[in-house]
Amino acid sequence: MAQKFNEKAYLASVGAGIRALRKKKKMTLEVFGDVVGLDKSNAYRIEKGRNITLLTLEKIARVFNMSSSKLLDSAIEVKEEPKKAEMKKEESKKEEKKEEPKAEAAEGLASLFG
């Protein structure tokens, strides 16, 4: 069975990707909006995950010198990055838990022979 498509999460991911690209170019929301042809509040809404038209998506992609498909791909990458960070944290916690019994055993042995 196919997984249900989460529209809100996808739009939030696209918006986060656009925001990351805008910040990388050191553009304010106002300047970004002017270049794309939006006012500041609509530029903000897009970054927060509001649905956008294909034409607006294409204009935004051109601001960043990329195709609209690459812009959408970069949004998906942004969405996946926090997951990778969480996975690393989980792995680190698992490693710490593995080390705790070893340290306790070493302390126990040291007290017996110390």
Instruction: Set out the domains of the chain in order of their start, with CATH numbers.
Output: 7-82 (1.10.260.40)
Kindly list the distances between the CA atom of residue 53 and the CA atoms of 7, 14, 56, 72, 86, in Å, as whole numbers in the listed order: 15, 13, 5, 13, 33
43-59 burial: b if 16+ Cβ within 10 Å, else e: bbebbebeebeeebbeb
Which amino acid, one-letter code, is at 109? L
pLDDT digits (tens, 9 = 90+) for 36-93: 999 999 999 999 999 999 999 999 999 999 999 998 887 666 555 555 555 655 666 6
Residue where the block lists tokens 């593995």: 98
